Structure formats: C-alpha cells, structure tokens
Amino acid sequence: MKILVIGSGGREHSLVWAFSQNPKCQEIHCIPGNAGIKQLAICKDLNILDNDLIISYCKLNKIDFVVVGPEAPLANGLINSLTKNNILSFGPTKEAAFLESSKSFTKSICDIKNIPTANYILATSKEDALNFIEKFIPPFVIKLDGLAAGKGVFILNKKSEAIEIIKNIYLNQNKKIALLIEEFLVGHEASLFVVCNGKNFKLLGSAQDYKKIYDKDLGANTGGMGAFSPALNISPEVEKEILDKIITPTLTEMDERGTPFSGILYAGLMITDKGPKLVEYNVRLGDPECQVIAIRLGAQLLDALLYCSTNEFSKIKINYADDFGVTVVMASGGYPNKYETGFKIKGIEKFKNSKDVEIFHSGTKYIDENIVTNGGRVLSITSRSSNLNDARKKTYKVVEKIDWKNEFHRKDIAKKTYSLI
C-alpha cells in the first residue's frame, strides 16, 4: 500500500522508519518531512493546514492510508476532509480533537463521567480568575483553555506571581480568554498511549518523558527533551485503573455525544498516592515518546494503526520484547527560546548501520549534500536494549559523537526513574 505521513518531526521520522519495515508498505510519502525522512520517503513541501491541497496530493499519488502526526492538522479537520473523500486515515476528527484543543472540554467530560483529575474552576474574565485564585493553595496551576504548543501552563509558588500572570494574560486582550485554575497534583507523571476507534480500544504502550530544558527537571517547559518506554511507575493494577476509570468513560462519553474518538488517545497522567489522575489528553502520539515506542514495536506499529482505522481490533497484535527504549533530544542552544539554525551537523554518517540505535531527525534540512539544523529540537537519538541502563548508555554514546555549533542536550535522561508506588 501507499502510505502518507503528515508532519516533520522526530515522531514522524520514527513512524516512517517503522512503517517502511512492514511488507504492507510499498511506497511511503511524507508532507513536509525533513532531511532524515527524505532518506526513506518521498517528501513534498506543502502546507499541512491546507486540507484541499493534501486531498489533491492523495488523489494524484493514489495514497491508500494517511497517518497524521501533529495536533494542528487534526484540530483543523484534516481527518474530516479525508473521510469525506473516502481516503482511509488514522486520527481523530476535528470534533474529537477537542480533547486536546480545549482543556475545558476535557474537564466537562471528566465531570460528567467522574474521571479522576485535578479539581478546577473555569474563569472567563480577569475578575473571575483573580477571585478564584483565592480558593486554591500554592502551588497555583493556571492553564489557557486552547492549544498553546506547551506554552499555556503556568505553575507558580506565590499568590503574587499567580496574580501577575493573570493580569498579564488579560492585558490588552479584547477577545474572551478562558483560564482553568487547577489543584496542584503531587505524584509521578506517566503517559499512556491507546489506539481507539469509537468504544473499541487497545493499549499501544507507555512512556515517561522529560519536559524541562535542564537536568534535574529545571528551567522552562519544552516539547520534550527525552523519554523512555515503558513507564516504570504504571503497575498492572494502576494500568487497569487508568483503562477502567479514565479511558473507557472518556470513549463512552465521546461516543454518546455523537463525536466518537478514533486515533491515538495519549493520556498524560499523574500517579498519586490516591491512584492515577488525568492531567491532560493529547490526540496523537507524543514527540519524543513516539520514538521510544516505534523503536520497540517496529513494523507492528503500522498494523496497529491500520487495523484500528478499519476497526479490525482482533487483528492487532502488540508483542513487545522484554525491552526498553530510550531517546535523547539534541537541540539548538537557546531552545525553547530564541536559537540560531543553519549549522552543519557533524558525525551522523558513522551510525547509519548501528544495531538497535536510530537517529530520528526533527528540525533538519539538506543544503546541497550537507544536513544542517533547521529547528529547536534537531535530532532524537533512540536506542533499545533488554536493560534500561544499557539503552541509556547506547544512546548517550551516539549523542556524544554528534555535534554542531551550540548543540545542547540533557545528560540525565532515563537516569532517575520512578519505581512503582
């Protein structure tokens, strides 16, 4: 079959890599792709928010199956358009993607179905927000309601800081802004990935990611600086609780509302001493969490997504080896704030045929024969091994041999892990 992957990050590179190993995949395309993806797929630089253009591309190239990586085209209704044009695709409709694009929407689902999550109040004006903050104790959690590319969550220790953030958010804003003020959850974070179609679902895997820019979880939030899989803080009992008390009621409620969810439901969870609680949903695979799941599942990943889309759940076989995946993100110095690009990446060629190590590209492009940096997150070096520490060492051995001007990465990915609670 001819497959099209939408996106240009390490997540999409790992999907293209995994799909290419499946005999079902005869030809693979990617819009827009990057320098790494170009080595495996036919890449076309089109606007991923132009649904009509993507439909024309699919028709012209006789694409059989489309997998959408990032959230923006999902929230923009790409799946709705593909379905209308009878093109098989993997991902949620625009209406189902509200689970990521609106935090208040997700909270309303939690309210109706009694899903464990942080207590919250929704404020729709500065006055409300300033009033509601009085009802919480520090640390204060303040969230913008809509998609904010990881920049919409503020966690503050002092009330004066919380008040200042609220005032800043509403400064010079004419349009209505909704804010969620939430209870701060104490525990360990984990991510669970489930493939869903309506009320049917199957667990795809789990991971723990590192969101902060610096070692020891210090500094600003990023899209993710590394991850490992499986998560070590999800026991079989906790996993059952997540599926029964969080995933199942969510899918039931979405179905009852006439907007069934299909695609990946990525549950961001806090494992607390009172059990797992939902922090947020994403409606796609995580980046870089996808990389550690892809390296462990390989070709099986295509079958899982394909049979989920055709609602043939009995055909989905997810057989993990008893192994671990570790990924370390190499970034441009300055990320997640201002950074420079266009630097030549040195040392990648040496690792082309390394066993169980893959160099997934994010922000890269070709200039002539050279691969240069072209984004904040540049590469995610990903390994697998039967032992977490081995996978970690294998990954860092490669990280240390790759370089460019101002390169930056965390040195403690998969070092400190949380055991079961």
Taking the complex as a whole, the smallest distance from the CB of residue 72 to ligand GLY amounts, in Å, to: 12
Q: With respect to ligand GLY, which residue has the nearer C-beta, 289 or 358? A: 289
Q: With respect to ligand GLY, which residue has the nearer C-beta, 91 or 223? A: 223
Taking the complex as a whole, the smallest distance from the CB of residue 120 to ligand AMP amounts, in Å, to: 8
Residue 153 interacts with which of ligand GLY, ligand AMP, none, CB < 5 to 8 Å by class: ligand AMP
What is d(CA 209, CA 150) in angstroms, rounded to the nearest whole number? 14
Residue with tokens 């966690």: 155
Cβ-contact 362, 377 below 8 angstroms: yes
Residue 209 interacts with which of ligand GLY, ligand AMP, none, CB < 5 to 8 Å by class: ligand GLY
Residue 384 interacts with which of ligand GLY, ligand AMP, none, CB < 5 to 8 Å by class: none
Cβ-contact 290, 194 below 8 angstroms: no
CB atoms within 10 A of CB 105: 15
Taking the complex as a whole, the smallest distance from the CB of residue 240 to ligand AMP amounts, in Å, to: 23
Residue 280 interacts with which of ligand GLY, ligand AMP, none, CB < 5 to 8 Å by class: ligand AMP
Residue 96 interacts with which of ligand GLY, ligand AMP, none, CB < 5 to 8 Å by class: none
CA 52 to chain centre: 25
Residue 219 parent element (H or E): strand 218-229
SS3 74: helix
Instruction: Provide the phi-psi class of 306: left if phi over 0, else alpha when psi is between -120 and 50, else beta.
Output: alpha
Integer-rounded Cα radius of gyration of the chain: 21
Q: With respect to ligand AMP, which residue has the nearer C-beta, 106 or 300? A: 106
What is d(CA 129, CA 268) in angstroms, rounded to the nearest whole number? 25
The maximal CA–CA distance of the chain, rounded, in angstroms, is 60
Residue 223 interacts with which of ligand GLY, ligand AMP, none, CB < 5 to 8 Å by class: ligand GLY
CB atoms within 10 A of CB 326: 27
Taking the complex as a whole, the smallest distance from the CB of residue 216 to ligand AMP amounts, in Å, to: 14
Chain residues binding ligand GLY by CB under 6 A are 209, 223-224, 282, 286-287, 289
Taking the complex as a whole, the smallest distance from the CB of residue 52 to ligand GLY amounts, in Å, to: 27
Q: With respect to ligand GLY, which residue has the nearer C-beta, 81 or 182? A: 182
SS3 319: coil
Taking the complex as a whole, the smallest distance from the CB of residue 224 to ligand GLY amounts, in Å, to: 3
Residue 289 interacts with which of ligand AMP, ligand GLY, none, CB < 5 to 8 Å by class: ligand GLY
What is d(CA 329, CA 369) in angstroms, rounded to the nearest whole number? 23
Chain residues binding ligand AMP by CB under 6 A are 118, 141, 143, 153, 182-185, 189, 211, 268, 279-280
What is d(CA 19, CA 30) in angstroms, rounded to the nearest whole number? 12
What is d(CA 188, CA 175) in angstroms, rounded to the nearest whole number? 36
Taking the complex as a whole, the smallest distance from the CB of residue 51 to ligand GLY amounts, in Å, to: 23
Residue 380 interacts with which of ligand GLY, ligand AMP, none, CB < 5 to 8 Å by class: none
What is d(CA 304, CA 90) in angstroms, rounded to the nearest whole number? 10
Taking the complex as a whole, the smallest distance from the CB of residue 278 to ligand GLY amounts, in Å, to: 14
CA 86 to chain centre: 27
Q: With respect to ligand AMP, which residue has the nearer C-beta, 187 or 376? A: 187
